[in-house]
Amino acid sequence: MTRNTRIFLISLVILAIPAIVTAQRKPLLSVCSGEGSPANGAVLTICITEQGMRSGAQPQLMLRLFADRQAEYELSPADEDSATESTSLAKKQFSVKAGALAEILRLGRSSDFQRAKSSYSSLIHKTDSSSRTTIEFTDHGRTKRITLSNFYGKRPANKGYYPASVLRMMEKAEEIRTTAIGAIVR
């Protein structure tokens, strides 16, 4: 074997290692992985699934809010302070203020939220990635499910496309999650 052949083979092995390691990585499990009925007592569940040229866990719980003001969301182990070999996302639990729960209930019960379409196609068409956000609002045993494709909350075009209550629900959910990230019960 010539020196150049050995160098080529060593280089090939070095370049292949990251692909082999990535291929052997187990998918992270999320409470959003299975389809079915909402968690017992959940008023609001928002799951996000992203595909394409993106890293991170799929799908992932953005926020779940219960009638007793308890809430939870998921973080991938890469988002945690310490590295882990876990096959599950870290579920973070916290409590929300009564006013936050009241606003979510008011928005979900509003007539334009209840009349919202079950699925909204994308306002943004991407070539290398996509996302699907699923909102499930449950009240008095009835669940309203809305799917948003490639939803990005701060786009001006959203106001004419989505019902106002859906936009405000997503804003409020993001606000609740962002506030909780600094004050989590581990």
pLDDT at 78 over 50: yes
pTM assigned to the model: 0.77
Region 40-57: mean pLDDT is 79
Please name the CATH architecture into which domain 42-181 falls.
Answer: 2-Layer Sandwich (3.30)
Contact 92, 178 (CB under 8 A): no
Query: For the range 103-108, what are the long-range contacts, defined as Cβ-Cβ under 8 Å and sequence gap of 24 or more?
Result: 103/172, 104/43, 104/44, 104/65, 104/137, 104/169, 104/172, 104/173, 105/43, 105/139, 107/165, 107/168, 107/169, 107/172, 108/43, 108/44, 108/137, 108/139, 108/144, 108/165, 108/169
- The whole-number pLDDT of residue 102 equals 97
The two structure tokens encoding residue 68: 């007793």
Ranked by mean pLDDT, the top range of 30-34, 134-138, 181-185 is: 134-138
- Per the CB < 8 A criterion, the answer to whether 99 and 160 are in contact is no
Interval 71-77 mean pLDDT: 85
**pLDDT (0 to 100) of residue 91:** 86
What's the mean pLDDT in 159-173? Answer: 95
Residues 106-137 pLDDT 10s: 999 999 999 999 999 988 777 777 889 999 99
Q: Are 54 and 128 in contact (CB under 8 A)?
A: no
Return d(Cα 166, Cα 104) in angstroms, integer.
10
Between 168 and 75, residue with greater pLDDT: 168
Please determine, for residue 82, whether its predicted confidence score (pLDDT) is greater than 70: no
Q: What's the rounded mean pLDDT across residues 101-109? A: 97
Q: Is the pLDDT of residue 83 over 70?
A: no
User: Across the chain, what does the average pLDDT equal?
Assistant: 81
